[in-house]
Chain A
Amino acid sequence: MEKVLFLSPSPHIKDRMDVSRLMWDVIFSLLPAVGFSVYFFRFKAVGLYLTCIFFSVLSECLFLKLRRREFPKEPSAILTGLLLAMVLPPSIPLWAAALGAIFAIIFGKQIFGGLGYNIFNPALMGRAFLMATFPVLMTTWINPFTLDVVTSASPLGLLKFHHQLTPLWSLFWGNVAGSLGETSAFALLVGAVYLLVKRCIDWRIPLFYLLTVLVFSSVTFLLNPAYGSPLFHLLAGGLILGAFFMATDPVTTPIPKLGRIIFGTGAGVLVMVIRLWGGYPEGVMFSIIFMNAITPVLNRYIKPKSFGGKRS
């Protein structure tokens, strides 16, 4: 063999995991929750998923075309569309969902420089945009299996504004009014276990997020049972979806391990403060967006203790 030898820096072998595979794994892990939502909300769910994914991918491709960049080979726009659909009310008109998807991709991600450079979770940016522009559409809920708009309230809304508790069992299986993909704790946990086992996500953020909610709500429950039980707060609303699938978005969460613990704990405190004393019944979205905002600071100032070194 006197061909030209191939030269490269070490290491000469690499793990097979790549960005694209990582994202497909996350999409795959969401499928149980997608399945449950289609079962509960039928064609409304299907329409919402297709709309969000289509407009996410379309706006990503158009934006990159305008910037004369290559089309992405990883499915991050599909994931953003999927996650956005999951945090929207099933009754939202498709045109509004499409606007949300476009905003999520353009202003949530591409404007910062695309994948890897955005500060905020794109899907949550899309939701925040819709919250600000169409507050009524975003707080109109329907019960599962009722496909005409008989407005209802979400379990957290029922608690906050009507002092009614929803049975925990319904929350666990998801037979309640709420955003498309966040209703069934069970289906989400199946996906979460898959991601944790495959080590696609770090356990620190979800653990400290949920633990903080658990501790916080236990204390408030003991002080005043009308605030709702700890288990209710864990299962209701978007907490599980947020904790495992949004607060773990690598791009918008801290790099140091201690930063991830602070992120999870901070988000847990915020979500409880908003739920109990804020103007909205639910606070998962704001808690994550707020912690996203301080992530660059955590990345800059947390210097972990290195092996044999002192914490600086």
Chain B
Amino acid sequence: MRTKTFKGGVHPPESKNLSKDKKIERISPPPELTVPLSQHTGAPCRPLVKKKDKVEEGQKIGDHDAFISCPVHSPVSGEIISIDKFPHPTLGEAEALLIKWDGGDRKNWDSEDVDLSSLSPEDIRKKVREAGIAGMGGAAFPTHVKISPPPEKKIDTVILNGCECEPYLTADHRIMLERHEDCLFGLKAIMRATGAKRGYIGIEDNKKDAISLIRYSTEAENSIEVVPLRTKYPQGGEKMLIKAILGREVPSGGLPLDVGVVVSNVGTAVAVAEAIKKAKPLIERVVTVTGSGVSNPSNLLVPIGTPIRYILDLCGIRENARAIIAGGPMMGISQYTLDAPVIKGTSGILVLTEEEIIQDKEKPCIRCARCVDHCPMGLLPTTLAKLVKAEKWEMLGEFNIMDCIECGCCSYVCPSKIPIVQLIKWGKIEYRKITSRG
């Protein structure tokens, strides 16, 4: 198989066998759910309900007028117990609605046959916005914003991201196998909304079954093509994906739409399809629960707001489990509490054991430049890390610090075990401060 790729990157052990053959199972909701008002990039929602209000499954319970924002919906029917600060998987703590499930039957979201050509791009954008869809690959950027390019930016291509380059995670893989028709419907809807003529589905070549299935089901489509990509992290980074498939480089500081492209995760495409066909908002998502600290690694369809604790009770957690990570091992965030909920961007819950956690002592940099050779953005990570340590903030711009995509390849390969990407993230914050001050 001919595979395309980008320069740099790393090959961590894939560790996907734990869960890649486990079918997606829909779990029953927990007794109580914590639904954060901010699960996306942009303005946090304001609650539309009060304490003690009764809510329906799928009812909008939070929204905001800002363009870059994304409403939230109740995943279950029940009652609002409180609106307060609760643990949050990426923000540490944030305002959320605590909802008590009434134990009633779950709603049947009936599917209608929809002819996309009968919908205008504006109709699609509206449906996507009202469904509260945010990118489900991790960054959780509101999808209706992504598919509303300014008129001067002509979009010619939509790429569905089925790379799932993070080790361990298999949610997107299962989605492509089990929901390929919705993936394609979602892709076509996004193409219609953006006016793009070409659609690609980029899949790493460690998912041969997904590649052949989707190839088979797109045989009749002239405008859609499956592109096998080399299994390499961070192949699913949107800049790397666009480069690999189209050979276009998103300019420094720019967005995919600057090169005429919109990239969307396959899970997001399924959510778009459900929003259009079923008028179903984004209230549940597929989460890979995995790692050697889990007794039964699984791919679960989980209501948004389900606490990690509830999910780990279902899958079983081993005695030697020691660290819980929301997301994949390369970019995921380690959790301080099991009370943090699954949100729209939570693709996995990874449980690492005592033996697997890394407590290496940092050593001096030996300037081996492995980080330079593996950086997919062509940066000098060790130089940036040294400048950050020396607090030479003003020099960071010379070395293009803001181009860093925080993939963590530099920290992964560093033989001196220097937390390079962490230092760079700090440097970006400080650099932003001095540049915004002018």
Q: Which residues of A contact B (CB under 8 A)?
A: 1, 3, 5-15, 17-19, 21-22, 74, 114-117, 202, 250-257, 260, 299, 303-310, 312
Contact = CB atoms under 8 A, between A and B. Distances in A.
A9 B408 CA distance: 10
A8 B323 contact: yes
Nearest to A302: B380
A300 B13 CA distance: 35
B221 to A, nearest CB: 30
17 contacts: A1-B321, A6-B334, A10-B329, A14-B411, A15-B12, A15-B414, A17-B370, A115-B364, A116-B365, A255-B369, A257-B369, A304-B378, A307-B378, A307-B403, A308-B239, A308-B249, A312-B398
A110 to B, nearest CB: 13
Report whether over half of chain B's contact residues are helix, strand or loop; otherwise say mixed.
loop
B412 interface: yes
B325 A12 contact: yes
A61 B13 CA distance: 38
Interface in B369-399: 369-370, 372-373, 376-380, 382-383, 398-399
When A and B form their complex, which 8 residue pairs have the shortest distance between CB atoms, in order from nearest?
A116-B364, A250-B368, A309-B252, A11-B408, A6-B323, A9-B422, A307-B377, A306-B378
Report whether over half of chain A's contact residues are helix, strand or loop; otherwise say mixed.
loop
Given A307-B239, A309-B403, A13 B380 contact: no
Contacts, number: 167
Nearest to B372: A255
Given A5-B334, A257-B373, A116 B367 contact: yes
A117 B334 contact: no
Contacts of B356: 13
A24 B283 CA distance: 53
A5 B322 contact: yes
A7 B358 CA distance: 10
Contacts of A12: 323, 325, 329-330, 332, 334, 350, 352, 357-358
A312 B249 CA distance: 17
A253 B367 contact: yes
Contact of B319 (A1, A9, A21, A312): A1
Contact of B323 (A5, A115, A250, A253): A5
Contact of A13 (B322, B330, B400): B330
Nearest to B371: A255
Interface residues of B, number: 66
Nearest to A310: B252
Contacts of A5: 322-324, 334-338
A310 B415 CA distance: 30
B250 A308 contact: yes
Contact of A309 (B12, B325, B400): B400
B110 interface: no
A306 B377 contact: yes
Contacts of A18: 360, 363, 415-417
Given A18-B416, A21-B415, A116 B366 contact: yes
A308 B413 contact: no
B263 to A, nearest CB: 14
A3 B366 contact: no
B334 A19 contact: no
B331 A11 contact: yes
A299 B369 CA distance: 11
Contacts of A252: 367
Contacts of B377: 306-307
Nearest to B401: A306
B367 A14 contact: no
A14 B417 contact: yes
Contacts of B322: 3, 5-6
A6 to B, nearest CB: 4
Contacts of B412: 11, 13-15
Given A9-B419, A12-B323, A15-B413, A114 B364 contact: yes
B250 A255 contact: no
B336 A7 contact: yes
Given A19-B416, A21-B415, A255-B380, 6 more contacts: A3-B322, A5-B337, A10-B332, A14-B414, A116-B366, A256-B380
B167 interface: yes
A22 B12 CA distance: 18
A255 B365 CA distance: 11
Given A5-B336, A7-B334, A11-B329, A303 B403 contact: no
Contact of A250 (B13, B251, B369, B411): B369
Contacts of A255: 367, 369, 372, 380, 382-383
